[in-house]
A and B are shown apart, each in its own frame.
Chain A
């Protein structure tokens, strides 16, 4: 009897070590796919997948609209205008606009200027400074195509509550304006609604 107990002792110790290791591993951090279904869904804030979903739908809408082909030179040139944030959150709209820009750029349909910006605030001040210097020096090779389109928009939110259930709808509004005519040749609105009883819920 004592002999068998002595034999069992290492087995118990190994099992305990394995259990503790498992617990420690499960408590530690892990990498997950950013665009995957393991991401956290928060009812009280815009999550990374919300930006991606909104950007994806906007890009699809814009590409299928056929409006980008109105530009006389292809790919069409675009400047990003103001994106008004009317949500209660302090968010950087670049999460949305940059994804849209990258997707449109990779589609080969649009190129975005980084040296023209609203209120003279530009994305790449060095490029603009150099271009100005070249222009002032009379360099005829300087070509600065003006944007044919501008992209503007607004972020909105609507909150509702019934008992313990909370709901938030984030509305993404975008418009593509043809600079020459001042007409919004493409507009779209995408709503993302999330509901839950806790601040963070899963998919």
Chain B
């Protein structure tokens, strides 16, 4: 049986390919080979309830610092493993030395978009000196 392809088929295929390629836009970066910064890394535990998000977004490293004398500041670097944009929602929660939740009047879910292959840093400052531990919550947008 002879299959007759419509003349529009190659054009449609090309269009689909072009659309797919236009969606794959990743970020190139340039940085120092030997950075001057001396990070204070935090050993972290990751609880994954969304395997898709884990595949798409990697937690590269978690660092801590002290600001304003006695407030803990944390920074979490995330990498987008996809070649297209990925938007995530995130929120930091803080806990004191007795593992009790420390509320903050400005704590809110936030949104960040990572370009394809991009690495970004999310940071937060403890609401008070008693807050020493943190949890970063991430979810798909």
Please list the residues of chain A having a beta carbon within 8 angstroms of any beta carbon in chain B: 35-37, 49, 52-53, 55-56, 59-60, 63-64, 66, 68-69, 99-100, 102-103, 106-109, 203
Once A63-B71, A106-B128, A107-B127 are accepted as A-B contacts, the answer to whether A55 and B141 lie under 8 Å apart by CB is: no
Q: B109 contacts A37, CB within 8 Å?
A: yes
B124 lies within 8 A of chain A by Cβ: yes
List the A side residues contacting B89 at CB < 8 Å: 37, 203
List the B side residues contacting A52 at CB < 8 Å: 106-108
Q: B105 contacts A63, CB within 8 Å?
A: no
B67 lies within 8 A of chain A by Cβ: yes
**Closest beta carbon of chain A to B22's beta carbon, Å:** 19
Inter-chain CA distance A36–B91, complex, in Å, is 9
Q: Which of B108, B123, B128, B139 contacts A60 (CB 8 A)?
A: B123
Across chains A and B, the number of contacting residue pairs, with CB separation under 8 Å, is 65
B34 lies within 8 A of chain A by Cβ: no
Q: B109 contacts A99, CB within 8 Å?
A: no
Inter-chain CA distance A69–B68, complex, in Å, is 7
Q: A53 contacts B110, CB within 8 Å?
A: yes
Q: A103 contacts B106, CB within 8 Å?
A: yes
Please list the residues of chain B having a beta carbon within 8 angstroms of any beta carbon in chain A: 67-69, 71, 73, 89, 91, 104-111, 123-125, 127-129, 139, 141
Q: B105 contacts A68, CB within 8 Å?
A: no
Q: Which of B67, B69, B107, B139 contacts A56 (CB 8 A)?
A: B107
List the A side residues contacting B91 at CB < 8 Å: 35
List the B side residues contacting A103 at CB < 8 Å: 104-106, 127
**Closest beta carbon of chain A to B91's beta carbon, Å:** 8
Q: A64 contacts B67, CB within 8 Å?
A: yes
List the A side residues contacting B73 at CB < 8 Å: 64
Q: A66 contacts B124, CB within 8 Å?
A: no
Q: Which of A60, A106, A108 contacts B105 (CB 8 A)?
A: A106
Q: Which of B106, B110, B128 contacts A99 (CB 8 A)?
A: B106
Residue on B with the closest CB to A38?
A: B109
Q: Which of A49, A64, A69, A100 contacts B125 (CB 8 A)?
A: A64
List the A side residues contacting B107 at CB < 8 Å: 35, 52, 56
List the B side residues contacting A108 at CB < 8 Å: 128-129
Inter-chain CA distance A36–B127, complex, in Å, is 18
Q: B129 contacts A102, CB within 8 Å?
A: no
Inter-chain CA distance A121–B141, complex, in Å, is 44
List the A side residues contacting B128 at CB < 8 Å: 106-108
**Closest beta carbon of chain B to A169's beta carbon, Å:** 15
Residue on B with the closest CB to A60?
A: B125
Q: B71 contacts A107, CB within 8 Å?
A: yes
Once A59-B125, A60-B124, A106-B127 are accepted as A-B contacts, the answer to whether A36 and B109 lie under 8 Å apart by CB is: yes
**Closest beta carbon of chain A to B85's beta carbon, Å:** 14
List the B side residues contacting A100 at CB < 8 Å: 106
Inter-chain CA distance A36–B139, complex, in Å, is 12
Q: A53 contacts B71, CB within 8 Å?
A: no
Q: A106 contacts B68, CB within 8 Å?
A: no
Q: B67 contacts A66, CB within 8 Å?
A: yes
List the B side residues contacting A35 at CB < 8 Å: 91, 107-109
Chain A to chain B: the 7 pairs with minimum beta-carbon distance, closest first: A56-B106, A52-B108, A35-B108, A102-B105, A55-B106, A64-B67, A63-B68
